[in-house]
Each structure stands twice: as structure tokens, then as C-alpha cells.
Amino acid sequence: MRELKILVALLVLTLVIALITSLGFLGRALWRNYWWEQEVYGLTGMVATTQAMEDFRHGKLRLRAIQGENDEPRYSGSNDGPFEIWIVQYYPSLPYPHHYSTEQQVEFYNRKMRHMHKHPENFVDQTNTEAQKRRP
């Protein structure tokens, strides 16, 4: 009877250690995933904002959308007010990181493009001479 109690105690101890170890690995994975998403969010935002500014400076008023599998960016044939709607490259069969990155890219690009269209005076390129004239 005593050996059975010792065996049960060892089994319980082993299970508790396994549970704590598993929770540690889960915590580490969640922490890494959080920082991975933050990094993708920041980098994708920077790239999409730069692309939107470049398009705006070239007179291209576009918004981006995700519409199923698509091999390369293409015009959808529709507009939203003055904006052409472009379908971005997207592969639904790829895993979550691709989906997350593409969704963030579309959001950032569209937000920046709408903002620049609403406030075009803030996005006029200045030459060095014009910038120096404004300095006191």
C-alpha cells in the first residue's frame, strides 16, 4: 500500500512538472508571437505608407483590397469615389503570417492614401530653395 502511495505521488509530481514546463513553453511561444506581430506591423506599415506616398506623388489615387487568390496586383475594374480599387497579391493557402502581413499592408496603404487625398497641401514636395525661404 505504501509503495502505491509513493508511486502515485511520483506520478503527480511528474505531471505537475510536465504541466509547468508546458505552460512555460506556451508562454514563450505567445511572447515571441506577440513581438513577431509587432515587428510585422511596424515594417509593413512603413513599406505600405511609402508606397502610398509614392503613388500619390505620381498622381495615382488607389485603394487596395484583398479578393481571393491573386498572383499579381491588378486593377479590379471598380472605383471608390476618385480612387481606383486594386487587388493585391494574395494566396489564401499560405499560413497566418502571410494573411496578417497582407491585411496590415492594405490597411496602412488605404489609410495613408485617404489621408493624403483629404490633406494634399501637406504632401507637396518642396525644393531645397523653398524650404530655406520658410526658415526664419
| Tens digit of each residue's pLDDT (9 = 90 or more) over 5-44 | 999 999 999 999 999 999 999 999 999 999 999 999 999 9
* Residue-level pLDDT at 136: 55
pLDDT band at 130 (very low <50, low <70, confident <90, very high): low
- The answer, yes or no, to whether residue 131 has pLDDT greater than 70, is no
- The answer, yes or no, to whether residue 68 has pLDDT greater than 60, is yes
pTM of the model: 0.76
- Give me the residues paired with residue 63 across strands: 85
- Grid cell listed for 70: 491573386
Give the Cα separation of 62 and 73 in Å (integer): 12
- The answer, yes or no, to whether residue 126 has pLDDT greater than 60, is no
Query: How big, in percent rounded to 5, are the helix, strand and coil portions of the chain?
Result: 65, 15, 20
Q: Which amino acid is at 122?
A: N
* Residue-level pLDDT at 135: 53
Give the Cα separation of 51 and 54 in Å (integer): 5
| Tens digit of each residue's pLDDT (9 = 90 or more) over 73-120 | 999 999 999 999 999 999 999 999 999 999 999 999 999 999 999 998
